[in-house]
Amino acid sequence: MKKKWLDLAARHGTPLFLLDHDVIRGNYRTFKKHLPRVQCYYAVKANSNPEIVKTLFEEGASFDVASYNEFMQVYEYIRHFKEKDQEFFIWDKIIFSNTIKDRDTLRKIKRYRPLVTYDNLDEVLKIRDHCKSAGLVLRLKVPDVGSQVEMGSKFGCEPGDAMKLIRKAADAGLKVEGISFHVGSQCTHFDNYTSALAITSDIFHDARKKGFDLNLIDIGGGFPVPYDEQAPRFEKLAGLLNAEFDRLFPDDIEIIAEPGRFMVATAATLISEIIGKARRDGKVFYHINDGVYHTFSGVVYDHWIPNFRAVRRGRPEVCAVVGPTCDSFDKITLSAHLPANLKIGDLLITDNIGAYSTASSTRFNGFDGAVILHLDGDRPRA
């Protein structure tokens, strides 16, 4: 445990969410280095903190936005651009990856000529009526076996319907730019990516043969984070992907990706504090000042299993760690391994908590949630 972190917790209070922008920059550069053919669109949903968007904007990243508000968060940084440069940035560096967009959003983004995904005929008609300027990317349903969060049950058309949907979009006077997929978040079965690329390649070549001028593939997110030692290495996945890109696709196409978790998960550490201790049915329950309605919301929405370390040392025992609210659902884990002798006021540390955590935190029961402290390495940000 870095002593500096403890000093910060003493100074700023807990729960304290330490967000290291040097790590975000490092993750972005690792991604670019190992996937040189891929344009990297940060999926803002993973953590929409404006400082993160700023850091990645300064690194030259592109952005995957799910809503008009997320779009505007990126737009803030190009507001001062000349109109032509703004238009170019939006076309080249932003994708609306939510396959369903409400009519109001479509009307608002129409003036920007956005790139948007779709996966059904009603969406085609809606885009035709409210945002004719858009470029379209067809989202496929692909295998997401074993991924921490599966996507196929809510998004993507059946591969067998893809040609029909490409044709329908063209008939509606819209331009289909390419094909996308998402293999599920925290994808540790790399076969999902190879299957998805094979399915995409078949449709892509078939569409080109039939005269549709597709020029982009979007491999979505899913890039795994080393939450534990069993998690497969990103570098290995990148090697596999590069080989498949070269084998399956011509050089003249654009390949883009929408990594969220990979950019931010490892950049944050949470320091929480034990505020109560009780023995329930023979097991020690530590009540801490953060929970599933707050920074640990990923336990619910992201199917994430958090890790805990204690600052105090001692013989480990199985215990429960639960949140501060009055809801009995607010249990973070019933099987943590923590020293047996922890006391009220002791601090707990949770690593790799940067993705899908503060992004979905609420103020339930009147608790504010963690203070976010931005760092550049060991230094607090100016």
Ligand X SMILES: Cc1ncc(COP(=O)(O)O)c(C=O)c1O
Which residues belong to the active site?
A: 326
Question: C-beta of 172: minimal distance to ligand X in Å?
Answer: 22
Question: C-beta of 170: minimal distance to ligand X in Å?
Answer: 23
The H or E element spanning position 331 is strand 331-339
CB 287 within 8 A of CB 327: no
CA distance 208 to 197: 16
Question: C-beta of 123: minimal distance to ligand X in Å?
Answer: 14
Cβ closest to ligand X, residue 185 vs residue 289: 185
Sequence-distant (6+) residues with CB within 8 A of 20 are 267, 268, 269, 375, 376, 377
Three-class SS state of 139: strand
Length of the chain as a residue count: 382
Cβ closest to ligand X, residue 323 vs residue 354: 354
Cβ closest to ligand X, residue 220 vs residue 291: 220
Cβ closest to ligand X, residue 222 vs residue 369: 222
Question: C-beta of 380: minimal distance to ligand X in Å?
Answer: 27
CA distance 156 to 161: 10
| Residue of 146, 255, 161 lying closest to 199 (CA atoms) | 161
Which residue's beta carbon is nearest to the bound ligand X? 221
- Specify burial of residue 299 (Cβ count, 10 A radius: 0-12, 13-18, 19+): buried
Interface with ligand X (CB under 6 A): 43, 45-46, 64, 97, 182, 185, 220-223, 258-262
